[in-house]
Structure 1
Amino acid sequence: MDIDLHPVTIREVVEGYTDDGEGGVFGYGGRLNIRPPYQREFVYKQKKRDAVIDTIFKGFPLNVFYWVENEDGTFEILDGQQRTISLSQYANGDFSIDVNGNLRYFPNLTADEQERFLDYELLVYRCKGTDSEKLEWFRTINIAGEELTDQELYNATYYGPWLTHAKSIFSKTGGAAYNLGDKYLVGEPIRQKYLETALKWISERDGLSHHKQYMAAHQHDQNANELWSYFRSIIYWVEDTFTTYRGKLMKGQPWGPLYNTYGANPVDTAALEAEIADLVQDKEVTNNRGIYQYVLSRDPKHLNLRQFDDDQRLEMYERQGGRCANGTKCKDVDNGDGMKTFDITTMDADHIVPWSKGGKTEVSNGQMLCISCNRSKGSL
C-alpha cells in the first residue's frame, strides 16, 4: 500500500459536509466518504467528542488520519471517522462545548476564533492499495482510540450491498430491528450487537459453525431480506408465545435457538403463562431467567433448583447416624456387623420427593445417600 502525507485544513474537510443517515456521510466537497460501508456508526461519547474540539482550540495536534484514495479521485476514511464527524458536526453547529465556563456553538465564536478553527491543519495520510490491503490496514491501525468489536471487524471483511442493507436495519438506534426487538435483546445496535445476535441465530439454524460463514455466503446479495424476515419471525413468535412481558427475565434470552428448536411446536399460551407465574414465585427456583428455557425444554438444569445447605446436610447425616438411607439395598453395606458408616464428605443430599412432584428442599424431605446409591437412584 502506498502512503503519502497531505495536510488538510478543517475548512477543506467540512466543505459540503452532509449526513444523510443511511445515505452516508460526506465532506471535502463531496469527495470524501466519511462513513464507508465497512465503517462503524458514530460511537463517540460526549466527553471524547468535546475533547476533539478542545484539542483543536488549544492548537494541539490530533492523531493522524488515514484516507484511502480511489481510482476516480474520491476518498474514503480508513482511520479517523469519529474525529472527523466530531469536528464536522461542531462546524455545522450541531452541538456546543464548554469554553472558559461558557457553552459555545460554532456560530457563537468570534470571527477570528472561527477562522482559527477552520484553518487548523489535520495530518492526513492518503493510501492507495487493493481492497484486501485496505481492509487489512483497517484491522490493524488504531481506530480513534475505540477498540473494534469482532462484528465490526467482520463488517470490514464482508462489506457489500448485503451488509449495507443489513446495517440499515440492525445497526441503528431507533432503527427497524431496535424498534421491534429492543425489549428482548441486549447490547447496542450501533456497536453491531443486534446484527451479530441475528447472524448467530440464523447461522445456528443453518448448521453453520460461525456466523461469519453466513456473511461470506451472502456478501454479494443485493439485500438482507432473509435475515430480516427470520429475525421478525423470532420476535413475533416470542410475543405470541409469551403473552406477558417480564422485562428483566425476557431481555437477552437465546430466543433464536429456542425458536429454531421449539418454534414449530403448538403451545397453550394461557397454561404456559400460568406455569411461568408459578415458577417465578417458587422459592425452589433460584434462576428465574432460566424459566423460559425450562418451560420449552423441560430440562430442570435451567432453573438451578435450590440445594440442601451445609446445616441441612449435617442434620440429615446425624439423623441417619452416618448411614446411607438406602438401607440394606446399599452396595456398600458391611458383610459383617451391619450398616456401614460413611464420612459426610462421601455422601450426597437427596430429595425424597423430587421437585417435579412437589417436593421441597426441607430436612423432612431430605436424605443422605452414599455417592454410588445416589448415582444409581434413577435406575432403582
Structure 2
Amino acid sequence: MKTNKKPWPIGTVSHVNGIRKRIDTNPDFQRPAVWSTSQKQLLVDTILREYDVPKMYWRKLGTTPDRYDVVDGQQRLRAIWGFVDGDFKLPKDAEVVDGLVTAGCTYETLPDDLRVRFDTYALDVVILEDTDEDEVREMFLRLQNGTSLKAQEKRNAMPGAMRQFVRSLTQHDFFNRVGFSNTRFTHDQVAAQMVCLELAAGPVNVKNADLNRIYELHQDFDVNGPVAKAVRRTLGLLEEVFFDKTPELERYNAIALYCVFAELQRMYAIASIKPELRGWFLEFEARRRSQEELDEEHADTEWVTYKERISHSTDAQESIRFRMDFMLRHLLSKFPDLSLKDNQRGFTHIQKLAVFRRDNQVCQVKLKCEGIRVEWDNWHCDHRIAWSKGGATTVANGQVACPACNLAKGGD
C-alpha cells in the first residue's frame, strides 16, 4: 500500500460537476450517514474558525479520471456537501466569527469573506494507492477503533467470503417484505444470524460475539456449499409465503420464522399448506396482540412467556428455541394432518407438544384408566390408527396415552 497526503480545498471537492461525483462516500464497508444536524453545524463552525479537522482517507480506484472510495471521513464530507447544498443552516445562537455574524446562515447567505474562507479551507486527505480489498477493510476497522460503530458495521468491514455472502443475502427479495428497515445494516445483522443458525442446524446464540466468530472462522466460506444452499432455500420459502410487504415481520419474528421454516423444509411435507402459511402467521400475530392487551392475570401464561421472550434477550439460544417451538406447535395445531416427509414412526418433539396440549395431558386410550392426567416425562404419544396399519405420524392421528394403557393396547 502506498500513501500520499494531499491538501484538498473544500471548493474543489464540493463542486457538483467536478471531482465530487467521482467520490463514493458509501462503499459497502461504510456505515450509513448517522450525524445529527448539530454535529454537522459544529463541523462547519470548526472550519469557519480555521480549526483543525482530522485527516480523511480515500482509496484511489483508477485514473482517467481518478475515482475514490472514502475509507474514513465520510460523515465529515457529507456534512460539508450538505451545507454547500443548503440542507441545513448554522444554529440561530451561533457566535460571531472574527466579528462576522453566522447565526442562521446557509452557505449562500454567509458573509463573503467567510464563504471564501470555507471554500479555500484545505482538508487533509491521505490517498491510498495500490491497495487490495482486505487492506482497505483492515485500515477502516483500525481508523474506526474507539468510535461508536455498531457491531454489524464493524463486521461489514471484515474481509472474507462470509461477509460477502451475508451482504449478498440482503439483496434477497424477502428483505423487501419485512417490517424493519435496514438502518445501520440491520438486514445484514439478521442475515448473519440466519447463517449462524444454519451452521448450527437449529437454535443457537446469535449475539454479536457469536456473529463475529463465524465471520472470523469462515473467511473461506463456500458460497455454493450445503449451508449456503440451505440458507437460500429457506429464504426462498419465506419469500414465496410472504409475497408482499408484511409489517408483522419484525426482526425477532424473522429469526424465529427462519428456524420454523427451515424445520418445516427438513421434516415435513408442506406443499399442501404453503398457500396458507401466511394466513397462519397473521392469525398468530393477531392472537399475540390480543393477549398482550390483557393483564397478566387474565392472559394465557404461555403467551405471557412468549411476550417476555420477544422483549428480552431475543438473540439468546433459549429465547429462540422457545419462540420456534411455540410457533411450530401452533402451526401443527392449525394443520394437524401435516405429515412427516418419510412418515417415520416416531413423533417429533413439536408434534408431541401439540398433542400433549391439545389433549390437556389426559389419557385418551382409557383401557386401564378412566382418563388420568399424565406428566410430561411419563406418557406416550400413541397413533390412533396404528402406524403398522397405515396410520400417519401426524398430530391429528396422535393421542395422549398413559404407559399402562399404551402397553395394554399393544404395538402399533
TM-score, reference length from structure 2: 0.54
**Displacement of 1:92 after TM fit?**
1.9
Match of 1:283 in 2: 300
Alignment of 1:10 onto 2:1:
no
CA RMSD of aligned residues (A): 4.7
Q: Answer yes or no: is the 8 Å Cα contact 1:90–1:106 preserved in 2.
A: yes
| Cα deviation 1:105-162 (Å, max 9, x = unaligned) | 22222322221111112122223343133222122113794425335433452599x7
Identical aligned pairs, as a percentage?
16
CA contact (8 A) 1:138 1:156 kept: no
Distance verdict in 2 for CA 1:214–1:287, change over 3 Å: farther
SS at match of 1:107: coil
Q: Tell me the equivalent position of 2:119.
A: 118
Work out which of the two has the higher radius of gyration on C-alpha atoms and give 1 or 2: 1
Say whether 1:59 aligns with 2:50. yes
State the partner residue of 1:84: 77
Amino acid corresponding to residue 12 of structure 2 in structure 1 = E
Alignment pair present for 1:293 and 2:293: no
Cα gap change, 1:249/1:10 in structure 2, threshold over 3 Å: closer, same or farther? closer
Matches within 5 A, 1:200-279: 200-202=193-195, 204-205=197-198, 210=214, 213=218, 216-218=221-223, 231=235, 233-237=237-241, 251=253, 253-262=255-264, 265=270, 267=273
> Per the alignment, in what secondary structure is the counterpart of residue 63 of structure 1?
coil
In structure 1, distance between residues paired with 2:264 and 2:166: 31
Structure 2 residue aligned with 1:180: 177
**TM-score normalized with structure 1 length:** 0.58
Contact 2:5 2:124 in 1 (8 A): yes
Question: Is this contact kept in 2: 1:12–1:28, CA < 8 A?
Answer: yes
Name the counterpart of 2:59: 68
Q: CA deviation at 1:12?
A: 1.5
Equivalences for residues 13-52 of structure 1 within 5 A: 13-16=13-16, 28=19, 30-52=21-43
Cα displacement string for residues 8-53 of structure 1 (whole angstroms, at most 9, x for unaligned residues) = 2111111236xxxxxxxxx635443333343233232333233222
Q: Distance in 2 between matches of 1:106 and 1:228?
A: 49
Q: Which amino acid in 2 is paired with 1:87?
A: I
Look up the SS of the partner of 1:94 in the other structure. coil
Task: Report the counterpart of residue 87 of structure 2 in structure 1.
Answer: 94
Deviation, 1:83, is: 0.8
Change (3 A) 1:85 1:231: farther
Deviates more, 1:145-154 or 1:192-201: 145-154
Deviations 1:185-235 (A, max 9, x none): 4xx51311112312432564476893674995449xxxx999888646415
> Greater CA deviation, 65-74 or 133-142?
65-74
Q: Pick closer, same or farther for the CA change 1:7–1:146 going to 2, 3 Å.
A: farther
The separation in 2 between residues aligned to 1:293 and 1:239, in whole angstroms, is 22
| Cα contact 1:67–1:126 (8 A) shared by 2 | yes
- For 2:117, give the aligned amino acid: R
Secondary structure of 1:189's counterpart equals: coil
Q: Aligned partners of 1:111, 1:41: CA distance in 2, in Å?
A: 33
1:142 to 136, 141, 144: 144
Distance 1:272 1:190 in 2: 25
Counterpart AA for 2:91: D
Q: Is the Cα–Cα contact under 8 Å of residues 56 and 117 in structure 1 kept in the other structure?
A: yes
Distance 1:195 1:249 in 2: 12
- Equivalent residues of 1:139, 1:153 under 8 A apart: no
The answer as to whether partners of 2:141 and 2:154 remain within 8 angstroms in 1 is no
Q: CA deviation at 1:87?
A: 0.6
**What's the counterpart of residue 325 of structure 1?**
none
> Counterparts of 1:249 and 1:39 in 2: how far apart (Å)?
22
Report the counterpart of residue 295 of structure 2 in structure 1: none
Q: Closer, same or farther in 2 for the Cα pair 1:272/1:358, shift >3 Å? A: farther
Q: CA deviation at 1:96?
A: 2.4
Stretches of structure 2 lacking an aligned partner (at least 5 in a row): 95-102, 202-212, 292-298, 310-321, 331-355, 362-374, 381-402, 404-412
* Cα shift readout 1:210-263 (whole Å, capped 9, x = no counterpart): 3674995449xxxx99988864641553579xxx97688975652222221125
Question: Counterpart of 1:190 in 2: which secondary structure?
Answer: coil
Go from structure 1 to structure 2 and tell me whether the alpha carbon gap of 1:35 and 1:272 turns closer, same or farther (over 3 Å shift): closer
Residue identity matched to 1:47: S
Q: Identify the residue that residue 105 of structure 2 maps to in structure 1.
A: 104
Q: How many residues align?
A: 287
The amino acid across from 1:118 in the alignment is D
